[in-house]
Amino acid sequence: MNRFSRSDRFGRRLRDREASIDMKKHQNDCRLPHTSGICRARKPEVAKWRAIGMLVLLLVGTTSFASPCFAGPASTLIDNRYLIQGNGAMVKDTRTGLTWMRCSVGQKWDGMDCRGVPERLTLAEAGKRVAEGDVGAGQARWRLPTGDELAGLLLCTHSPELVQKGCAETPAGKAVSEVAFPGIPDRPYWSASTGDDGSPVSVLFDISGSMYGFSDPQDGLFVRLVEIER
């Protein structure tokens, strides 16, 4: 059974199995514009030419190609924050320095989108898959994120204190970037954090923000992995 509530409704502290990243320096980011420069069309400016020259320029302009929205050029920031890495299967969060798998465990990146269905795993199954490197990434260099790292994926805030109260301004669409993380479900994800009583902490994303919760280790939850720092 999942027990979710805002952090100010239950007083238990989170104790991370791994050191959480320092999020306090981002407390003033709650009103980031929800924009993406991935699919902006380029409108060529045509000078005054003779009739034949203008026709040639127009024909050239109509044959330009745009990169897919989900793939995007590697140098373009998604939502003013995420930078595509490698073949597009990963994104680096330029605000925290963390590199994330774009697809949930069970899905695979096909060059444009996450294909397949996210797997629901128990906490033990998730840990085993990560330890064995069987996460669809080809290399055993991933780990479960902490609760604060997961909650920090919210578009509207990067501070645990603000995350616990939800988004001050609900972003358009989902609370997490759907371009950086295509098809992210509104379901809880496992973290590597525990409460004072040892209960595993999970994080639920929905349109209003995110919530920490305590889940039974036997529950089947989704998994999104973060790269082990080198």
Model pLDDT for residues 3-20, shown as the tens digit of each residue: 544 433 333 344 444 434
Q: Which has the higher per-residue pLDDT, 30 or 225?
A: 225
- Least confident residue range of 2-6, 20-24, 148-152, 156-160: 20-24
Per-chain mean pLDDT for the chain = 67
Percent of the chain topping pLDDT 70:
52
Average pLDDT over residues 82-103: 92
> Which of 96-110, 139-153, 192-206 has the largest mean confidence?
96-110
- The residue ranking higher by pLDDT, 138 or 49, is 138
| Dist CA 13 CA 9 (whole Å) | 12
Q: What does the pLDDT read at residue 214?
A: 85
Q: What is the pLDDT of residue 175?
A: 73
Query: What mean pLDDT do residues 182-206 have?
Result: 87
- 213: pLDDT strictly greater than 90: no
Q: What is the pLDDT of residue 212?
A: 74
Mean pLDDT throughout 196-209?
Answer: 78
Q: Where are the domains of the chain?
A: 2-32+118-227
What does the pLDDT read at residue 151?
83
Q: What would the mean pLDDT of 51-61 be, rounded to a whole number?
A: 31
* Secondary structure of the chain as H, E, C letters: CEEECCHHHCCCCEEECCCCCCCHHHCCCCCCCCCCCCCCCCCCCCCCCCHHHHHHHHHHHHCCCCCCCCCCCCCCEECCCEEEECCCCEEEECCCCCEEECCCECEEECCCCEECCCCCECHHHHHHHHHHCCCCCCCCCEECCCHHHHHCCECCCCCHHHHCCCCCCCCCCCCECCCCCCCCCCCEEEEEEEECCCCEEEEEEECCEEEEEEECCCCCEECCCEECCC
Question: Span 163-181, mean pLDDT?
Answer: 63
pLDDT for the residue 152: 84
Please state which of the ranges 49-63, 139-153, 170-184, 206-220 shows the lowest mean pLDDT.
49-63
The whole-number average pLDDT for the span 47-69 is: 31
